C-alpha cells in the first residue's frame, strides 16, 4: 500500500525502520504468502511537534514545581535548636491568580520514614486565628516558641512522629496569608474558606507530588469544626474520579469540639456588660469599643439576621465558643448552654442556688432567654473571670502585654517570681504561649527565614488572631450535621475528642451533641490508659468515635501532649485506644 505521499515521506525525520510482515491467510488453497516489507506510517510532523511541545511543557512545569519546592525549604529558623534535624518548608501557594490571593503554609515532613507516613492537614478556627501561631508553634508542631519569643525548642510529642504535618493559615487575611483584592475580605464565609483551602491543597500537591496518592487526613479545633467537615466534603466530592488530576486520597478527619450558637439576648448582655470570663489571647484582644461596634453593626433591623452568627467573646480564640455545629442553631444553643451550666455547677464554679435558678428560669430550647435566665447565666460567666474557662485547673496568664492581648487587668500581678511559681505548679504548662508566638513571628529575621511577608513590609505585622476577620466574617452555615451523616456513610474515619477540664466547650455538651447524631453504639463507654494510668474515656459508634482526655483543657496537645500523641497515633492507624494498663 502507498500510505503516504512522496512529500510526506520526504518530510519524515528521522527515518524509521520497517519490519518484515509474515501473513497467513486462511482461505481455500491458500498458501503462506511472504510479502515485501510494509512501510509503517510515521506520525505526521504536526503530531510530532505537538508531542514535543507537550513533553517540554510537562518538563517545564515539573521543573518549576521542583524549583518552588526547593525555594520553600527552610534550612533553619532563628533560635532553632541544632538537633534533632527538622525537615521543614514554608511559603505561599496561590489560590486565585486574578485576585492575587495566596495562603501561607508551614510543612514538616515526618521524623522517620516520611515516604510511608500519611499527610495530615491541621486547621485552627476563629474565624481569624492562625494555625501556625496555635497549632504549630504552641501545640503539636515539632518546634515550639519559648517565653518572650526568644527562641524555639523541640517538641518531643510532635504529631509529625506519626504523619507528614501541614499547617495552613486560613482564611485569607489570617497571619501571613494575603490578597491583593480588598473586597475578598468582605465576602469571607464558610464556602469561600472551603474553596480556597481546596484550591490550596490541589496546588500544594502539584508542588509536592509525592503526596498525591498518600492517605490524607484533616484535623482541627474550634471554628475549624466548620472548616474541617466542609473541606472534607469538598475533597470527597471532587475526588470520586480516582484517576482525575485533582484526586486526593481522603481517609478521615478528627476534631476537638462541639457546637455553640449563643442566644441573642445573652450575647447583647454579654457585650454591653463587658463580660470577659477568660484571659486567653483572643478574648482579651476584644475590648468594649469593638464590642459596641459589633452591636452597632447589628442594629437597624440586622439583629434578627445576624445575631446568631456572632459568638460570645468569652475566650481564647473567639471561635472557642463555637467549635462545631451539630443540628439546628437552637438545638446547638440548647446543648451548649445546658452543658456549660451543668459543668460549672458540677465542678464547683457556681453555687447550688445559682444552678437552681438556671434550672428554674432557663429554657435553652428558645433563643430569647428571659431576664431571670440571663441574670443567672451572667453569674456563671462572671465566675470564670478569675480562672481560665478553657482549662479550669490551669493558671491564667498574668502578663501585661503591650498588644492588649490579655483582659482582666485588675488581676494583673507584677510579681514575676509569683508568676513563675504558678507556672511551675502546673508541671511546666505556660498559659501565655500565644503571646510568645506574636513576639517571635514579628521578628524581621524570622520572617525572612520563614519566606513570609511576600509584600515586603518591614516587618509585616503578624497577629495570632485577626480582629478584622472576626468582625467581617459572614456566618452562613449553622449545621454540619448533614455533612457528618454523608461522610460517615461514605466510610470516612471520624473522631471527636474533648478535654474534660474545658469549661467553655465542656465534655458534657459534646456528649449531648454526639448523642443527637443517633448513631448505634459499637463499643460502650470505657477508660483508656497511658503509662498504667487512666488517660480518659471513649465510646465507639458505628461510623464515629468520641474520646475524652483526662485533665486536659481546650488545647489537648498543649495540656496533655503525651495523651494527644497517643490519640492521633490510634486515629491514623485505625486502632482502638489502649484499654488495659
Catalytic residue from among 466, 502, 510, 545: 502
> Where in 21-100 does DSSP place strands (E)?
22-23, 33-34, 73-74, 88-96
CA distances from 247 to 102, 166, 216, 239, 474 (A): 21, 18, 11, 5, 30
Nearest Cα to 93, choosing from 206, 184, 183?
A: 206
Relative orientation angle of helices 45-72 and 190-207, to the nearest 10 degrees: 110
User: What is the C-alpha to C-alpha distance for residues 229 and 331, in angstroms, rounded to an integer?
Assistant: 19
Q: What residues contact 104, with CB distance under 8 A and at least 6 apart?
A: 90, 91, 92, 132, 168, 169, 175, 176, 177, 452
- Phi then psi for residue 544, to 5 deg, are -165, 150
Catalytic residue from among 170, 222, 263, 405: 222
SS3 103: strand
222 is catalytic: yes
C-alpha cell belonging to residue 529 = 490508659
Q: Where do we find the cell 435566665?
A: 373
Catalytic residue from among 280, 316, 451, 554: 554
Q: Where do we find the cell 466542609?
A: 230
Nearest Cα to 140, choosing from 572, 567, 565?
A: 565
Q: What is the DSSP string of 171-236?
A: STTSTT-EES-GGGGGS--HHHHHHHHHHHHHHHHHHSGGGTTS-EEEEEETTHHHHHHHHHHHHH
What does the buried/exposed string (b/e) look like for 360-376 if buried means 16 or more CB atoms within 10 Å of the residue's CB? ebbebeebebeeebbeb
- Give CA 354 to chain center in angstroms: 37
- Give CA 163 to chain center in angstroms: 15
By annotation, the residues acting in catalysis are 222, 502, 554
Amino acid at each position: 500500500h502507498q500510505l503516504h505521499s512522496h512529500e510526506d515521506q520526504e518530510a519524515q525525520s528521522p527515518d524509521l525502520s520497517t519490519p518484515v510482515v509474515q501473513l497467513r491467510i486462511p482461505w481455500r488453497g491458500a498458501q503462506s504468502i511472504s510479502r515485501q516489507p510494509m512501510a509503517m506510517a510515521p506520525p505526521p510532523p504536526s503530531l510530532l511537534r505537538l508531542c514535543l511541545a507537550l513533553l517540554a511543557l510537562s518538563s517545564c512545569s515539573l521543573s518549576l514545581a521542583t524549583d518552588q519546592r526547593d525555594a520553600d525549604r527552610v534550612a533553619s529558623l532563628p533560635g532553632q535548636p541544632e538537633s534533632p534535624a527538622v525537615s521543614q518548608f514554608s511559603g505561599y501557594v496561590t489560590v486565585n491568580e486574578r485576585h492575587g490571593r495566596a495562603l501561607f503554609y508551614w510543612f514538616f515532613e515526618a521524623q522517620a520514614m516520611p515516604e510511608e507516613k500519611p499527610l495530615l492537614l491541621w486547621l485552627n478556627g476563629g474565624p481569624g486565628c492562625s494555625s501556625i501561631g496555635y497549632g504549630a508553634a504552641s501545640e503539636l508542631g515539632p518546634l515550639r516558641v519559648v517565653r518572650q519569643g526568644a527562641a524555639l525548642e523541640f517538641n518531643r510529642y510532635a504529631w509529625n512522629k506519626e504523619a507528614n504535618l501541614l499547617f495552613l493559615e486560613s482564611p485569607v487575611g489570617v497571619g501571613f496569608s494575603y490578597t491583593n483584592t480588598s473586597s475578598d475580605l468582605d465576602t469571607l464565609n464558610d464556602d469561600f474558606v472551603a474553596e480556597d483551602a481546596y484550591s490550596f491543597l490541589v496546588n500544594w500537591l502539584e508542588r509536592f507530588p509525592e503526596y498525591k496518592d498518600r492517605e490524607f487526613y484533616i484535623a482541627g479545633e474550634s471554628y475549624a469544626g466548620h472548616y474541617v467537615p466542609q473541606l472534607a466534603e469538598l475533597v470527597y466530592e471532587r475526588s470520586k474520579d480516582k484517576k482525575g488530576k485533582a484526586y486526593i486520597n481522603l481517609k478521615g478527619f478528627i476534631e476537638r469540639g462541639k457546637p455553640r450558637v449563643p442566644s441573642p439576648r445573652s450575647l447583647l448582655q454579654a457585650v454591653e456588660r463587658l463580660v470577659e470570663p477568660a484571659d486567653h489571647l483572643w478574648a482579651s484582644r476584644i475590648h468594649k469599643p469593638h464590642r459596641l461596634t459589633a452591636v452597632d453593626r447589628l442594629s437597624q433591623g440586622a439583629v434578627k439576621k445576624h445575631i446568631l452568627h456572632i459568638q460570645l467573646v468569652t475566650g481564647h480564640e473567639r471561635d472557642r465558643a463555637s467549635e462545631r455545629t451539630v443540628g439546628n442553631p437552637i438545638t446547638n444553643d440548647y446543648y451548649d448552654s445546658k452543658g456549660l451550666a451543668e459543668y460549672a455547677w458540677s465542678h464547683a464554679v457556681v453555687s447550688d442556688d445559682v444552678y437552681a435558678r438556671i434550672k428554674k428560669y432557663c429554657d435553652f430550647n428558645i433563643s430569647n432567654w428571659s431576664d431571670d435566665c440571663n441574670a443567672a447565666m451572667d453569674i456563671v460567666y462572671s465566675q470564670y473571670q478569675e480562672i481560665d474557662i478553657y482549662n479550669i485547673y490551669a493558671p491564667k496568664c498574668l502578663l501585661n502585654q503591650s498588644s492588649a492581648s490579655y483582659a482582666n487587668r485588675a488581676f494583673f500581678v507584677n510579681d514575676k517570681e509569683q508568676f513563675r511559681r504558678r507556672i511551675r505548679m502546673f508541671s511546666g504548662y505556660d498559659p501565655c504561649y500565644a503571646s510568645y508566638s506574636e513576639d517571635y513571628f514579628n521578628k524581621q529575621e524570622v520572617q525572612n527565614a520563614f519566606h513570609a511577608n511576600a509584600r515586603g513590609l518591614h516587618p509585616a505585622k503578624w497577629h495570632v488572631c485577626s480582629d478584622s476577620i472576626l468582625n467581617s466574617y459572614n456566618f452562613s452555615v449553622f449545621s454540619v450535621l448533614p455533612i457528618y451523616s454523608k461522610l460517615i456513610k461514605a466510610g470516612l474515619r471520624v473522631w471527636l475528642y474533648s478535654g474534660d477540664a474545658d469549661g467553655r466547650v465542656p465534655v458534657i455538651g459534646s456528649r449531648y451533641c454526639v448523642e443527637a447524631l443517633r448513631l448505634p453504639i459499637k463499643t460502650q463507654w470505657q477508660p483508656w490508659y497511658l503509662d498504667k494510668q487512666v488517660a480518659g474515656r471513649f465510646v465507639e459508634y458505628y461510623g464515629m468515635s468520641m474520646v475524652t482526655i483526662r485533665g486536659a483543657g481546650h488545647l489537648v496537645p498543649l495540656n496533655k501532649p503525651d495523651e494527644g500523641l497517643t490519640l492521633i497515633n490510634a486515629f491514623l492507624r485505625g486502632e482502638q485506644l489502649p484499654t488495659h494498663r
